[in-house]
Structure 1
Amino acid sequence: MTDCGTGISAELVHDLLQDQHPDLAGLPVREVAGGWGNQMWRLGDELAVRMPRMEGAPDLLRKECRWLPVLAPRLPLPVPTPVRIGEPSARFPWPWSVMTWVHGEPLDHTSISRGDHAADTLAGFLRALHVAAPAEAPASSDRGAHPRKCTDGFEYFLQAIAPRGLAADVHAVRAVWDDAVAAPEWAGPPVWLHGDLHPANVVVSDGTLSGVIDFDAMFAGDPAWDLAAAWLLLPAGAGPRFFEAYALADDATVRRARGLAAMKSLFLILMGQNGDRGLPGGKPAWGPAGRAALGRLTSGFGRSS
């Protein structure tokens, strides 16, 4: 996998701006910690420069720039929207973007204290997002399938983590997954999805959700892939209020969502591990978030879990 991130510096970002968007080059540039496929740099107080650092990320960046302006105007929470697009050049071989900055603290570094408000906010955001997508909407190569088609991934994550302990009953985790695998397929039209809702991709202010970020996984498909966020993001006890406010999920969709939340929780735990069983670019804060989500998932099978 090509990695272009090691050569990205504040000086490079400034020079790229000076070359292609000189009216923005006078704004201060400072690095933002974190990121995976992209490296982020604050540009002044209200903007950010998004720099791909892995092969494949440039295509995802162009997807964001194509579709976020379509989605953002009808979403009830702030999301990053493209302001400028930087083109490949001799200085940097890939496209890059200038996006609006979404204020708040990522949930993997803070917590939600206003659970009911956050449940209503998340439900309202997903209701607005989950509308039928046009035929030309992007698909996903690694997300969107029924849980039964993701069993290999689930098993890989579970086997990689179980020797270290899950802080959850492995049999209970498998029961959640098996129930999702047995649930009927999504019978509705493909709807717009964020595709990667987890604690690092939402921000919190005043104890509640205040923004959603990182849309490079967006695609059209089964809403269960986003509804898994009810367990990944919300504190214990907030699930019933979320599903009541969302109001569009039938029992089969909730069952699929729980299974997908289990798989995503395992992924978060694996990302948080150190050593040879952790995935590259380990994120220590993600492990506790994944274990907490598994605890919520295995406390019951209904919407009250």
Structure 2
Amino acid sequence: MSTGQMHPGMHPIDDDLVRRLIAGQFPRWAELAVERVPSSGTVNAMYRLGGDMVVRLPLVQGGAKDVSMERERLPRLAPRLPTAIPEVLAAGEPAEGYPWPWAVYRWLAGQNPEPGALSEPLLLAGDLAAFVAAMRAITLPGAPQAHRGGPVASLDAETRAAIEELRGIPQEGVDCDAAAAVWQEALRAPGRQGPPVWLHADLMPGNLLVDGSRLTSVIDFGCLGVGDPACDLFPAWNLLPADARKVFREALGVDDATWIRGRGRTLSQALIALPYYRRTNPAMAHNARHVIRAVLGEA
């Protein structure tokens, strides 16, 4: 999906490296076919292993910690959620010049949903709300802080910098004054009243799998932790049309302040992603443009 290097410090990964890693550490799978899985993901490379497994390898050092975190957390989350999530089958170690931990997961079938191409978005909105509600109800101890889970103000400097960068890219056509106004509204909204809740914290279309209009799996829990429940409202704007957005909100019982923070957080992510990925990850840039249109069209 990339047309260039997304991040500094990316480690080169190809089919041959994956075959060598598998053969050296899991020889029982050495004869299975290895095939790169096209993905808009920004932190990991994915390789299909045989018919029912997938190898996930961090592209950058920052993604390496996710492997051990998912190995520990996902088995405890799985029975508490209404939707399938990744199952770690084996944990690999650095070798063959590859510097970070990696893992083999059970393959989860399905397709990533596409904004504007959902056949029955109201059904998907209900499924997404059920998943988010189940995450919020989890009470497991020892929760980490979710990535992006802190106060909205913690995103202020990076968001404002992205708005100014987009002012210098007029071909993107972003109404930067309108974006700044929506962001300012999010900053003014009352903060979370109550304890933090468990969050997936990265509910992008690329981390969702569907069969038709029904949610079948949620993947990539690298941002997992506790924080502001507004963080898991991303699908309202990065995926769902306006009528399904309303269903999603009503199913979760979202109050005005949380909704405004959620909209601001989703816009912030898109504003930051667009200039960063516009030349290296077309899918991420495309979704960022969709979010900006959806949010500013609603404001």
Normalised TM-score (structure 2): 0.88
**RMSD (CA atoms):** 2.3
- In structure 1, how many angstroms separate the alpha carbons of the residues matched to 2:104 and 2:114? 24
Structure 1 residue runs of 5 or longer lacking an equivalent are 275-281
SS in structure 2 of the partner of residue 30 of structure 1: strand
CA contact (8 A) 1:108 1:199 kept: yes
Consecutive unaligned residues of structure 2, counting only runs of 5 or more, are: 1-7
Partner of 1:95: 101
- 1:3 aligned to 2:10? yes
Q: What secondary structure does 1:84 align onto?
A: strand
2:129 pairs with 1:129: no
Number of the residue aligned with 1:66: 72
How far apart, in 2, do the equivalents of 1:203 and 1:134 lie?
Answer: 25
Aligned residue-pair number: 290
Identity of aligned residues (%): 35
Is 1:260 paired with 2:258? Answer: no
Matched with 1:224 is 230
Tell me: higher relative CO, structure 1 or 2? Use CA pairs within 8 A at least 6 residues apart. 2
Change (3 A) 1:287 1:150: same
* Residues 200 and 225 in structure 2, CA contact (< 8 A), matched pair in contact too: yes
- Distance in 2 (CA, whole Å) between partners of 1:270 and 1:81 is 34
Alignment check: 8 A CA contact 1:167 1:291 kept: no
Measure, in 2, the Cα distance between the counterparts of 1:260 and 1:212: 20
Shift of 1:45: 2.2
1:177-235 Cα distance to aligned partner (Å, 9 max, x none): 11111111112222211111222222333145432221111121111111132111212
In structure 2, the CA distance between the partners of 1:261 and 1:109, relative to structure 1 (3 Å rule), is: closer
Superposed, 1:1-305 pairs within 5 Å as 2-4=9-11, 6=12, 8-34=13-39, 35-89=41-95, 92-107=98-113, 111-140=117-146, 143-165=148-170, 166-167=172-173, 169-247=175-253, 249-274=254-279, 282-301=280-299
Q: Which amino acid in the other structure matches residue 62 of structure 1?
A: S
Cα drift, residue 100 of structure 1 = 1.8
Q: Could you tell me the TM-score, scaled by structure 1's length?
A: 0.86
Change (3 A) 1:90 1:115: closer
Contact 1:108/1:285, CA 8 A, preserved across alignment = no
How far off is 1:102 after superposition?
2.2
The structural deviation recorded for 1:91 is 5.2
